[in-house]
Structure 1
């Protein structure tokens, strides 16, 4: 069915501007990249609203005047039970609307390409031979896979890297609007969802370079107390000497504190609020030398400043002889069950339209990510450990915004600019985070005319996000297709509520006239006392929640009963399979995890070479 009426109602299209009329076509394109359930759900909701409008007025939404559509939405919004559903519907609409408004305004300012991308040895899956051999096959080209591939190739092994996604150049990022890149760079169009109480949106990258292509570039070292806990409680011996591995990763990624000149208004607001409160805050350390503040990290840096592993690690691996196969979905790890000493990996089988191909190799490095590695191992007959796919942590996150009298223009400057660590020891990390218009996890309040006014005044908003160090409360199910289950722990729900309170306090201290809470039934507060009153009667289920950085689903450790992988990252029950991605981490690392994942992968690969 047509989405014209729904979009016109939500955006109060009164024919005074051209961009709202282009949103339905943009929304159709976005929905085509999403899972069937997401497409069906949005269209079913649109149909239900249309049926309601027809019952009330005798005409569909598209046939109503702007005022009549506003009246219909007002009646629906008056029913509290419908507010969360209406807010959910707004997410893809705002994604599409933000892009069309940005294009009408001339798009983002042109950026200078800092340097040409270094060469990679790339072969599409359809051109790979039906049977080949290698010393090692690495499944996944993200943070962990890239680091393992480089380490093994530089040690002289013949390495093939298999990547399900495609390769995208920096120049291609600069030629296309953010939303077009978003749908190409994220699995399921960014609509990966963990079902549970409450449901969580968990966007994951899929491209050469994995999620490092679409993350913020924030580069935290693993906290010492986390490493100590992993070593003491889990027997995670990879944590021993971890500083040396982190040093190497930081050197490779050229990590440095973000300079102030491109921090942007959003970061300055966070610093001002923290200074007023006496809180610990500073510009973040990032892997983006020469950053020009395009605020597009999450859809591929258009200047090449952010050192994703596509630019920093994989080129070194290819120089050492590694080859990368794109569009390669691994069907299964091949295992020879009759080898002396027990079952041993013998290679992989990759699916493609002509039936697939095999690469025979005595070493298989599984680095498909914490969400994809468990189903792959199950498809391979290697999913027998009772804890495989369990122990999932996801850094539950929420965001709020503050409205200021003067423009902030949050999307001009660094996307994730300032870290506020006042409550980090309590498991709450606040980061000043802005995105291209409409692409953040924060959802503007209101419907119809109210939402349209919010869109028109979005330059006055500063946005903060907070993620919490969660207890491992999820699991990855499925074989052919992944299914996520995650139920927020009561302790973590309390942390999220404290995070909202802290972010509100920070924004008011910085001079915000009002704070947009992200809570559908009370979307605005004017002071901290009002925010406290709202939070007293609210639970975490009422927040706009998302999640990032899944870890722990093939955890390494000393206990054969608790950990599917041994302390060196070797999968138990089979020889020749290494785990080299976020799934190998025993628990939530409590910070943005790219450095931690890469250091762990380096440790796994080096330990294998020593054995």
Structure 2
């Protein structure tokens, strides 16, 4: 691939026309950067390969909404197969990556569980002797986190003893419902930690969001506009402040000049034409798969192994969060089709390391609703039957399952910490391409022994809770394959350029004007949903760029 010195932008371009910042990707990280930078007076252009969501196309109000989640709104891009998606080779992966191309990114299809990382998550090496410590701390991030939550409209109760003291959430907590109350019976009987769920779902009108009506279809686009996504909460402000958003723009290369500075990007527009966007500073926010893919695609004479890859770690140390789930069926009607689908109850009872268990680190639990007729025959997208016998799910058994389970279920999800392994990685596939002929990513990911032991332990504890709560039937699904919602670690953060890709501000060690603000930069994964931390790091990075604008090296 050629360097920018041999290519030219539009003939009319002058240094004055070139925006201060180009952002690639309009998901949670990219949107937050666009919001913060534009409001601080920087000129911003954002390229997004998907489109602005149309809430009228969300099917959560429709009787057939569960059927549409199997294809049109499936979180797996290989199943959904939209033109703006790119395929992913998962033939050598235990987990399928789940993502969505569009303004708002994969949060369009997330459950909206809001779970900031805990202080121990940033000090894994110090506390447990594994992985690496982050170059930033919980305390340093907290003021930015609290500012993010005001924009997001997070609902919840302050005072969870698992967290250090902090400000109130901007909207009151959502009801825990009958499902939550049933789970609480089990938690209290066992003396285990629980707390009302904290969600990126507004309980009252806030920053463009409507109050949640508890429809329970959160994971497939919220037709009520209550689930917090950046097309609602951030982009109206960013656009008003002057940011430019270009949708249908598939970036194929980040260009650099003879000094090794990023000068902008080459992209394919929605009409199939190749275009170039120049910029003084470039920010990558294409998620933990898309960002390393683009860096590996951006080879040049200066960066023969991929952009900003002198460490050799671009694409490596991929973390997904191993994920298991439990289903408990109860005699009484719990109205378990009712939302929110985020988390009614959260528990950190088994989050911190106890080496007597035979593994390090832990996992967060969430108590969920389980949807309608198809939901009672599946947990988070996987069949509740491990035998693979489809007759157990369809036909007469489907009717029997619906009759016995509809409205009577408690679901527990377990998000386990995933330790970074260099063998788990994103590569460029030598054969598979997207619809524009750009090499697609290939995922190589195998669960390690620590993750297997962690999940088995938590599965036993899930059964203990469900039985304590009075379940008459229990089912555990071990490591759901379609569970790669969290794409982390493939351009990791650290102080040492030899063992990390970006510094503590998200700036790549090798390219002074190239930053990353998505889950790629995670040093370790924690055992929580990452969106809160992604948006917090992005806000912090954007504020740093704005503060240092006079000292920032720029193309």
Same fold (TM over 0.5): yes
Matched, 1:598 2:535: yes
User: Structure 1: how far apart are the matches of 2:545 and 2:139?
Assistant: 15
Q: Which residue of 1 aligns with 2:352?
A: 425
Q: Secondary structure at the match of 2:102?
A: coil
Q: CA RMSD in A?
A: 2.8
Consecutive unaligned residues of structure 1, counting only runs of 5 or more, are 1-127, 519-539
Structure 2 vs 1, CA of residues 447 and 221 (structure 1 numbering), >3 Å: closer, same or farther? Answer: closer
8 Å contact kept, 1:397–1:548: no
- Structure-to-structure mapping, 1:123-142, within 5 angstroms: 133-142=18-27
* Structure ranking higher on relative contact order (CA contacts 8 Å, 6+ apart): 2
2:337 counterpart of 1:411: yes
Shift of 1:190: 5.7
Residue 216, structure 1, aligned to residue 107, structure 2: no
Instruction: Please report how far the alpha carbon of residue 130 of structure 1 lies from its aligned counterpart in structure 2 after TM superposition.
Output: 11
Residue number among 470, 479, 493 corresponding to 1:511 in the alignment: 470
| Contact preservation (8 Å) 1:431, 1:465 | yes
- Residues 553-562 or 180-189, more deviating: 180-189
For the 8 Å contact 1:263–1:413, the answer to whether it is kept is no
Equivalent residue for 2:147?
A: 248
Aligned partners of 1:139 and 1:324: how far apart in 2? 10
Q: Deviations over 1:111-157 (max 9, x none)?
A: xxxxxxxxxxxxxxxxx999884221111111110111111111211
Within 5 A, what are the aligned runs for 1:267-286?
A: 267-286=180-199
2:289 aligned counterpart, secondary structure: coil
Aligned residues: 458
Give 1 or 2 for the bigger CA radius of gyration: 1
C-alpha displacement at 1:246, in angstroms?
0.7
The one of 369, 375, 379 aligned to 1:434: 369
Distance in 2 (alpha carbons) for counterparts of 1:196 and 1:506: 35
Partner residue in 1 for 2:397 = 450
Cα deviation, residue 364, structure 1? 1.0
After the TM superposition, which residues 55-454 of structure 1 pair with which residues of structure 2 at under 5 Å, given as runs? 133-173=18-58, 177=65, 179-180=67-68, 183-184=72-73, 186=75, 187-189=77-79, 195=90, 199-229=94-124, 233-234=132-133, 236-237=135-136, 241-257=140-156, 262-289=175-202, 290-336=211-257, 338=258, 342-352=259-269, 353-381=271-299, 382-383=306-307, 384-385=309-310, 386-415=312-341, 416-426=343-353, 427-437=362-372, 438=374, 440-445=380-385, 447-448=390-391, 449-454=396-401
Q: Output the CA distance in 2 between the equivalents of 1:243 and 1:129.
A: 46
- 1:470 maps to 418
Change (3 A) 1:130 1:510: farther
How do 1:471-550 and structure 2 match up within 5 A? Answer: 471-473=419-421, 474-478=424-428, 480-518=439-477, 546-550=483-487
1:585 lines up with 2:492 in the alignment = no
Q: Which has the larger share of helix?
A: 1
How has the CA–CA distance of structure 1 residues 179 and 230 changed in structure 2, closer, same or farther, with 3 Å as cutoff?
A: farther
* Aligned equivalents of 2:51, 2:119: Cα separation in 1: 36
Q: What's the TM-score once normalised by structure 2's chain length?
A: 0.76
- Distance change >3 Å, CA 195–CA 357, structure 1 → 2: closer
TM-score normalised by L of structure 1: 0.70
Report the Cα distance in structure 1 between the residues aligned to 2:390 and 2:108, rounded to whole angstroms.
34
Distance 1:466 1:431 in 2: 7
Distance in 2 (CA, whole Å) between partners of 1:435 and 1:392 is: 29
Cα displacement (A) at 1:265? 3.2
Structure 1 residues 138 and 562, CA, compared in 2 at 3 Å: closer, same or farther?
same
More displaced stretch, 487-496 vs 259-268: 259-268
